[in-house]
Each structure stands twice: as C-alpha cells, then as structure tokens.
Structure 1
Amino acid sequence: MSFGTLIEAFLLGLLEGFTEFLPVSSTGHILLAGHFLGFESQGKVFEVLIQLGAILAILVVYFQRFWQVLVTLPSSQRSRNFVLGIVIAFLPAAVIGALAHGFIKSVLFESPALICVTLILGGIVLLWVDTLKIRPIHTDAMAFPKSLALKIGFAQCLAMIPGVSRSGSTIVAGLLLGASKPAAAEFSFFLALPTMAGAFAYDLYKNRDALSADDGIIIAVGFIAAFVAALAVVRSLLTFVSKHGYTPFGWWRIAVGGVGLVALALVG
C-alpha cells in the first residue's frame, strides 16, 4: 500500500460523500474516477463499504428525528407508519440486490461506457422532470402512503445499474407520484439508511476472507472522507433543491457522462 493509494482513497471518499445524496450517482462517479486513476479494490468492495460514512452523516443530521421515532414507536401510529413505509420501500432492493449481486459487481461495475451513458440519460430525465408542473400531494416524507413507498422502492432498484443514481431514481419516482421536491429528497435520505447498511453488510460478508489489513486502512480513509463530505451535503441539499430544483444536477450528469465518453475514446 503506497501513499499515493491512500490519497486516491481519500479523494474517492470525498467524491462519494459529496455525491451520495445528490441525484448524480455516487457509484458511477467513483467507478469512473477509479477507472481513470487506475484505482483497484478487491471485488469493488471499497466503493460499497465507504458508503457507511454517508450513512453516519444521515444519522448525525437526523438524529433527533430518528430518536423521536424510536422512543414513540410503541405509542405513535405515525412513527409506526413511517418505519413500515421505509421497510416496504427497502424490500425490493434487498431481494433483487441479493439475487443479482454477482452480475452487478462483475459486469455492471466493470462497464465505464455504460456508466457514462446512464449518467447522460439520467441527466435528461432530471431536466425533463424539472419542467413538469406537478402539484404536490404528499409534502411530509414521514407520512407517505405504503403504496407510494413500495413504488419508490421498486424505482430504487434501477440504481443497481451504476450511473442511474439511487437518490435520483427514488427522488424522480417520488416527484412523478406526487411528492414535493423537499419531501421526495428527504424520503430518499431516510431510505438510504437500510439500503446502504444492507449493501455494506452483504458486501462485507461476501468479501470477508479476501480483505487484508491494507484494505481495511484504505477503506477507513475513504470512509472518513465520505462522512465529512456527506455531512456538508445533507445539511444544505434540501435548501438548494427548494430554490433551484434538479436542473443543475441534470446538466452536471450530462457533462460528466459526455466527458467520460470522450476520455474513454481517447485513452480507454
């Protein structure tokens, strides 16, 4: 393990944290960056495990609300409905992700051209969605109907294709189904916890015998960087979205995907 590898891990961790909760595909960004940097991780496990840093950022920012839900769970129907909605939304990705894990990691994660194309297509979708005049029906992320939560959960499965974006697919689904922009983003935050925690645990289990002490250090560096970066994004994203919508992220995706395709054509 070289000092250069640690620097790359730190930079990729920052990139993960900055992009995890934006509808731009953090996985797509770090896989592309890793490809051009020549960064390699055992079974692409680094790219999954550092997401735990982003999970902890959500827990820090929303600790008071999560704690309130926890302590009122036995007595509050609203808290129980919220938890059940998150569980329902999580289940499709849990089942499909476990069944398709090998294909996702060995094929989709190794296709930088596919990532660039999905970044561009996702950007076009965001630009289109931001032009729609949808009157929000659901403005409270903690009170989404179960049917809405399930549909958002199935939409999240699209993000198993790197470049699609977990937050992007869940936010767009929420918007098209009548959620307000802040509520759709907030529900995406909440849904990230079981989804990313599940991916972390499953990947760690699958690669437990292949990881070395050096891998652990590299992952720890990326994890810390992701936590710090995600903390900054989560605190400011809802305000930004309320003012500017999702158009800036759509153009960003198109730019990154386009530059990526040109770079692949030039240097492979």
Structure 2
Amino acid sequence: MIYLLLSILSSTIIFVVFRLYKKFGVNTLQAIIVNYFVACTVGFFGYIDGSDFSHVPSENWFPGALMLGALFITVFNLAAITTQKSGLSVVAVATKMSVAIPVFCGIFLYNESTGILKIIGILLALVAVYLTSIKTKDGISIKAKNLIFPLLVFIGSGIIDTSLKYLETSYVSSTDVGLFSSTIFATAGSIGIMVLAFQALKGSLKITYKNILGGIALGIPNYYSIYFLVMALRSNGMESSTIFTINHVAIVTVSTLTGILIFKEKLIPKNWIGLALAVISIILVANSAI
C-alpha cells in the first residue's frame, strides 16, 4: 500500500508542476524532454547497483521498455493536439478513463477477482473521473473530425498501463525495476531530442533556462510515479485491477483538491459529485481487496 500511496503523491506533484508551467511560461515540450533525461538519471544513480549498462539491450524486457518510451512521448504529443482541438477536459477524461483498459485486462487475462463491490467501485470510478474532469456545465464537446485524437490518447494511455503490468509480471526482476524505469525514460528522451533537432533545423528552437528548470522539477516526481507504481504492482497485497483503479481515481481526487487549495480553482456541482463518487469508489475497491 505504501508504494501505491507514494505513486499517487508523485503524480499529484506532477500536476502541480504542470500548473506552474502555465504561470511561468515554460515551454511544455522542451520541459517534457528534459524531464525524461532527469528521470532516467535519477534511476541510474539512485536505484541501480553498478555502472555497467552494456547488458541492457540483451535484457528480455528491453524491447518492451523501448516500446513504452516511444508511447510515452507519442501519447504526450497526441494529448497536446487534443488539448488544442478539443480542450483540457477532453484530455483529462481520455487519459484517466483509460484505466478501464488495464482493469479489464487484469480481470480477463490474469483472472483477477470480480466481486460485486469491486465492479460497482470500478463503474463509479469511471463516472467519478468524468465528472471531476469536466469544467463546464454542458460537459465536453468533441467535433467528429477530432474524435480520433482523444481516442488515441485513451488507447495509448491504457496500453502503457497494461504493458507495465505485463512486463513487470513476465520479465522484470525485483532488482531491475530501477533500470527498467530508467530505460523507458531514456528512450522517450532520445526520441524527444530528435524532435528538438528537427525544430532546430527549421530555425524554431529556442531553449531557455526556465524550460530546463521546469524539466528538472518534473523529472524527479515523474520517475518516482512510475517506479512506485511498478513496485506497487509487484506487491502481493492487491490485484492490478484494484491498484490501477485506486491509483487513477486517487490522483484525480488529490489533484483536484490540490487545485482548490493551492491554485484556488472553482468547481462546478458536477465536480463535487465526481469527488464524492471518487471517494466512494476507492472505499469499495479497497474493501473488495481485503
């Protein structure tokens, strides 16, 4: 449970950092790319014994780590496009409701439990995520021609969580969690460098210190959000469908409350209903695991 709580805390800090980007005018793409290398460095120097990384490409989990790294930055760019075309609420809903994918995979592929409390809790969690994420009384509106982008964000985010569970279960040893996590971030960062190189060739690249600092501030909690999530999945106390549900809903809940307390955000009635349902869903899903 402690690893799950630490993952939720780390993800909430990520939310705060992203909010500060807007306040200080940080270039999100540049900061994200710097963040990947910072996260990779945290793993290499903090959680890996020895300095010989030559064996990494021969590890069974290496192809999966490369895939996840590519997905990380791809989903981020899709989320940015979705934000531009349909708004932040659509991205929030697509990202958080993607929890349905790893939850159902856990139930059907790993034969995890499906008690009545758990099923009700999962359904309430999905409703809670939607109600908490929307910021207008009319809900969300997506033009038909733009529907593909949030759909890809939904699928991509779900594949990331599902792949983490699969690789952790099948290939990653307890001593390789740090190296596995760092390899994911190194891959995403390397792809990001290619994006920046393309921008440089076009003459549109301008790197500033605040973008670098923003990446450092994001990279540390970002590494721990993945590291602690993988460690939580390795624990024997809860099934993956339970962990993913609690993790996603708790992040939405704590981030929303943080937004109220720190950034003085105003919530509409739907958001408050969503928060109440989120708390109920966490209680139901957690109790189903006892």
Query: 1-side partners of 2:98 and 2:46: how far apart?
Result: 28
CA RMSD, 1 decimal: 5.2
Query: 1-side partners of 2:62 and 2:96: how far apart?
Result: 29
Query: 1-side partners of 2:231 and 2:68: how far apart?
Result: 30
Q: How many Å apart are 1:224 and its aligned residue?
A: 2.8
Task: Name the structure 1 match of 2:43.
Answer: 58
Unpaired stretches in structure 2, ≥5 consecutive residues:
1-6, 113-148, 260-264, 270-290
Over 3 Å counting, the alpha-carbon distance change for 1:173 and 1:252 in structure 2 is same
Equivalent in 68, 81, 101 of residue 58 of structure 2: 81
Equivalent in 76, 95, 98 of residue 122 of structure 1: 98
Give the conservation status (yes or no) of the 8 Å contact 1:55–1:193.
yes
Task: Name the structure 2 match of 1:195.
Answer: 187
Equivalent in 19, 22, 25 of residue 33 of structure 1: 19
Task: Name the structure 1 match of 2:244.
Answer: 246
Query: 1-side partners of 2:166 and 2:214: how far apart?
Result: 34
Query: 1-side partners of 2:64 and 2:224: how far apart?
Result: 29
Query: 2-side partners of 1:191 and 1:160: how far apart?
Result: 27
Q: TM-score, normalised by structure 1?
A: 0.51
**Residues 33-80 of structure 1: per-residue CA shift (max 9 Å, x gap):** 368x55544474333333322121122234326x4452xx4xxxxx65
SS in 2 for 1:107: helix
Give the conservation status (yes or no) of the 8 Å contact 1:58–1:231.
yes
Query: 2-side partners of 1:159 and 1:87: how far apart?
Result: 26
Partner amino acid for 2:163?
A
How many residues end up aligned between the 2 structures?
A: 207
Q: How many Å apart are 1:218 and its aligned residue?
A: 0.7
Q: How many Å apart are 1:115 and its aligned residue?
A: 1.0
Q: How many Å apart are 1:246 and its aligned residue?
A: 2.7
Over 3 Å counting, the alpha-carbon distance change for 1:55 and 1:188 in structure 2 is same
Query: 2-side partners of 1:124 and 1:88: how far apart?
Result: 21
**Residues 143-193 of structure 1: per-residue CA shift (max 9 Å, x gap):** xxxxxxxxxxxxxxx999557676x63341354689359769948625513
Q: How many Å apart are 1:233 and its aligned residue?
A: 4.7
Partner amino acid for 2:198?
K
Query: 2-side partners of 1:221 and 1:90: how far apart?
Result: 26
SS in 2 for 1:223: helix
**Residues 91-112 of structure 1: per-residue CA shift (max 9 Å, x gap):** 69759x78x99x7486235341
Larger Rg: 2
Larger relative contact order (CA 8 Å, sep ≥ 6): 2
